Amino acid sequence: MERTRQPSPRAAEAAQKLADEFGLDHQDKIDPEQIAHALEISIEYKDLPGEQGRLVRLGGTRIVVRRGLRPEQTRFVIGHELGHYRLHPDLDQLKQCTAGDMKDYRLDGIESEANRFSAELIMPERLFKPLCRMGQPSLDDIESLARAFRASRMAAGIQFVRFCSAPCALVFSKNGVVQWARRSDHFHNFIESGRQLHSGEDSTYAGDLFAGKTIVDRPMPVDAKNWTGFRSAAGTDVYEHSRKWESADGMCVLSLLRDRGS
């Protein structure tokens, strides 16, 4: 599981600089499409099978966004392409970006940098961090922040875990298997990608959701061993708050874990 490390400082600084250039001192003012237009970049929406967005930089710069995305996805895609525009001047004249590129949060690589840029532009640290000071966070807090900043749950969750003062982790699972997890600096447990989640013995609430069971929709204690697989974690509780939704390629569950002491 990746520690939620500081984003590429270059990407964060560039997003901050852009926000300053336009006086974006409140989340309601942050509109990536309007920012693009003010930078003399045209925006177009069209059918783009297999892509989320494109940056065309031949003479007049142009961002093309896949038609039919949800508003928060559209904002993120435009922010991502703006990231390429500001950070990667040597790209090919037409750069195609896929859904996979939009989920790349590794520490290096241009897609990761563009994602960091987009996250910082839409959810700037100076506005977002002061709202992450709750001691016992739940998914409700993440969803409320996602609404306030018009961001996706996942993008807001990743940013939340970076800034939350309580030790916590965000885990995304699909079809019963952990896909990725991000943890804050002081969260003690390690959750591996590819881990199968169980229902019944060694169960997690996320595993119960995949098994079709109804669970309580609030943070509940669970044995940390059931998330980590480490026997040394046995007897240590973490609080888990999980919610599910159906996507085109299966059932997904987002879980927020936090240390019991927090």
Partner 1 sequence: MSDYMKKPLTADGVLRMLDRDVVGMPGDLVDEELAKRGLDPAKVAARGRTVLQKLAMGHRYESMQRKAADKKRRDQDAKALVGPGERREGIARITRRIKAGDPGFQVAFRDRRPDQMTEAELESIAEDFFWAERLLKADGGGKD
Q: Which residues bind partner 1 (CB under 8 A)?
A: 20-25, 29, 33-38, 40-42, 44, 46-48, 54, 56-62, 64, 91-96, 98
State in angstroms the smallest separation of the CB of 54 from partner 1: 6
Separation CA 220–CA 245 (nearest Å): 19
CB atoms within 10 A of CB 221: 10
Indicate the residue among 67 and 147 with the shorter CB distance to partner 1: 67
- Give whichever of 57 and 183 is closer to partner 1, judged by the CB atom: 57
CB of 262 to partner 1, least distance (A): 28
What is the number of other CB atoms lying within 10 angstroms of the CB of residue 103? 16
Distance of closest approach, residue 74 Cβ to partner 1, in angstroms = 16
Residue whose structure tokens are 């494109």: 54
245 SS3 class? strand
In the complex with partner 1, which residue's Cβ is closer, 96 or 138? 96
First to last CA, the chain: 20
Which CB atom, from 67 or from 106, has the smaller least distance to partner 1? 67
Q: How far is the CB of 120 from partner 1 (least distance, A)?
A: 16
Helices (H), 108-253: 110-122, 125-128, 139-148, 153-163, 205-210, 225-228
- Closer residue to partner 1, CB minimum distance, 117 or 187: 117
Closest to partner 1 by CB, 29 or 106: 29
CB of 96 to partner 1, least distance (A): 6
**CB contact at 8 A, 258 and 167:** yes
Write the DSSP symbol of residue 189: -
Query: Taking the complex as a whole, how short is the minimal distance between the CB of residue 8 and partner 1, in angstroms?
Result: 20
The two tokens of residue 110 are 């241009």
Cβ proximity of 137 and 101 under 8 Å: no
Cβ proximity of 161 and 4 under 8 Å: yes
